[in-house]
Amino acid sequence: MTSTQANHPLLRVDNLRIEIPGRRGTLVAVDDISFHIDEGEVLGVVGESGAGKSLTGSAVIGLLEPPCRIAGGEIHFDGRRIDNLPYEQLRRIRGRHVGMVFQDPLTSLNPLYTVGRQLTETILTHNDLSEKGARKRALELLREVGIPAAERRIDQYPHEFSGGMRQRVVIALALCANPRLVIADEPTTALDVSIQAQIITLLKRLCRDHGAAVMLVTHDMGVIAETADRVAVMYAGRIVEVGPVAEVVLRAKHPYTVGLMGSIPLVGHDVERLTQIDGAMPRLDAIPPGCAFNPRCPRAFEPCLRERPELLTVGPVEAACWLHGGTSGGGGGHD
Amino acid sequence: MIAFVVRRLLQSILVLLAVGFIAFSLFTYVGDPINNMVGQDTTLAQRAELRERLGLDDPFVVQYGRFLLNAAQGDFGISYRHRRPVAQLIAERVPATLELSLVAAALALFIGVPMGVYTGLHRRGFLSQVFLALSLIGISLPTFLIGILLILVFGVLSQDINAAIGFHLVPQLPTFGRGDTVQLGWWSTGFLTESGLLALILPSITLALFQMTLIMRLVRSEMLEVLRTDYIKFARARGLSNRAVNFGHALKNTLVPVITITGLQLGSIIAFALITEQVFQWPGMGLLFIQAISEVDIPVMAAYLMLVGFFFVVINLVVDLLYYVVDPRLRADKAVAAGHQ
Highest mean pLDDT among B47-56, B140-149, B184-193, B320-329: B140-149
Q: What is the DSSP string of B163-197?
A: HHHSS--S-----SS--S-EEETTEEESTTSHHHH
Q: B149 — phi, psi (to 5°)? A: -65, -40
Number of domains in chain A: 2
Asked if pLDDT for residue B341 goes beyond 80, the answer is: no
Is the ipTM beyond the 0.85 threshold? no
Smallest Cβ–Cβ distance between A107 and the set B231, B240, B335 belongs to: B231
Choose among B142, B145, B144, B201: nearest CA to B175: B201
Check B236 against A94: CB less than 8 A apart. yes
Q: Looking at residue A190, which CATH number applies to its domain? A: 3.40.50.300
Q: Chain A: nearest CA to B255, how far in angstroms?
A: 11
Q: Looking at residue B12, which CATH number applies to its domain? A: 1.10.3720.10
The pLDDT score that the predictor gives to residue A271 is 65
The domain in which residue B47 lies consists of 2-339
Looking at the structure, do residues A230 and A258 belong to the same domain, yes or no?
Answer: no
Looking at the structure, do residues A9 and A147 belong to the same domain, yes or no?
Answer: yes
Looking at the structure, do residues A188 and A259 belong to the same domain, yes or no?
Answer: no
Is A201 a domain residue?
Answer: yes
Looking at the structure, do residues A279 and A296 belong to the same domain, yes or no?
Answer: yes
Number of domains in chain B: 1
Distance from C-alpha of A6 to C-alpha of A120, rounded to nearest angstrom: 35
Q: Chain A: nearest CA to B155, how far in angstroms?
A: 48
The pLDDT score that the predictor gives to residue A198 is 85
Looking at the structure, do residues A221 and A253 belong to the same domain, yes or no?
Answer: no
For residue A114, the chain B residues in CB contact (below 8 A) are: 328
The pLDDT score that the predictor gives to residue B273 is 87
Better-predicted residue by pLDDT, B36 or B295: B295
Looking at the structure, do residues A246 and A197 belong to the same domain, yes or no?
Answer: no
Confidence tier at B118 by pLDDT (50, 70, 90): very high
Asked if pLDDT for residue B111 goes beyond 90, the answer is: yes
- The region of weakest confidence among A115-124, A240-249, B167-176, B213-222 is B167-176
Looking at the structure, do residues A75 and A196 belong to the same domain, yes or no?
Answer: yes
Looking at the structure, do residues A168 and A130 belong to the same domain, yes or no?
Answer: yes
3-state secondary structure A79-145: CEECCCCCHHHHHHHECCCEEEECCCHHHHCCCCCCHHHHHHHHHHHHCCCCHHHHHHHHHHHHHHC
Is A332 a domain residue?
Answer: no
The pLDDT score that the predictor gives to residue B202 is 92
When scoring B233, B234, B258 by the number of chain A Cβ atoms within 10 A, the one with the most, hence best to mutate, is: B234
- The region of weakest confidence among A68-77, A319-328, B62-71, B245-254 is A319-328
Distance from C-alpha of A298 to C-alpha of A306, rounded to nearest angstrom: 16
Smallest Cβ–Cβ distance between B336 and the set A99, A160, A173 belongs to: A160
The domain in which residue A280 lies consists of 238-265+275-319
For residue B240, the chain A residues in CB contact (below 8 A) are: 95, 121-122, 125
Is A333 a domain residue?
Answer: no
Confidence tier at B64 by pLDDT (50, 70, 90): confident
Question: Which residue spans within chain A are E strands per DSSP?
Answer: 11-22, 25-37, 42-46, 69-77, 80-81, 98-101, 181-185, 213-217, 230-235, 238-244, 312-314, 317-319
For residue A177, the chain B residues in CB contact (below 8 A) are: 239
Query: What digits encode the pLDDT tens for the residues B77-101?
Result: 888 888 889 888 888 889 999 999 9
Task: Per residue of chain A (335 residues), give pLDDT as tens.
Answer: 444 445 678 999 999 999 888 888 888 888 888 999 998 899 999 888 878 888 898 888 888 888 888 888 899 998 888 888 888 888 888 888 999 998 888 888 998 899 999 999 999 988 888 889 899 999 998 998 888 888 899 999 998 888 888 988 999 998 888 889 999 988 888 788 888 888 888 888 888 888 889 999 988 888 888 888 999 998 888 888 888 988 888 888 888 888 888 777 666 766 666 677 777 788 877 888 888 888 888 887 888 888 888 888 888 888 888 887 654 444 444 44
Smallest Cβ–Cβ distance between A108 and the set B231, B244, B336 belongs to: B231
Check B328 against A157: CB less than 8 A apart. yes
Max Cα–Cα distance, chain A, nearest Å? 68
Query: What digits encode the pLDDT tens for the residues B144-159?
Result: 899 999 999 998 888 8
Q: Do B283 and B181 form a contact (C-beta atoms < 8 A)?
A: no
Confidence tier at B332 by pLDDT (50, 70, 90): low
Looking at the structure, do residues A155 and A50 belong to the same domain, yes or no?
Answer: yes
Choose among B277, B256, B255, B270: nearest CA to B315: B270
**A32 in helix, strand or coil?**
strand
The pLDDT score that the predictor gives to residue A1 is 42
Is A151 a domain residue?
Answer: yes
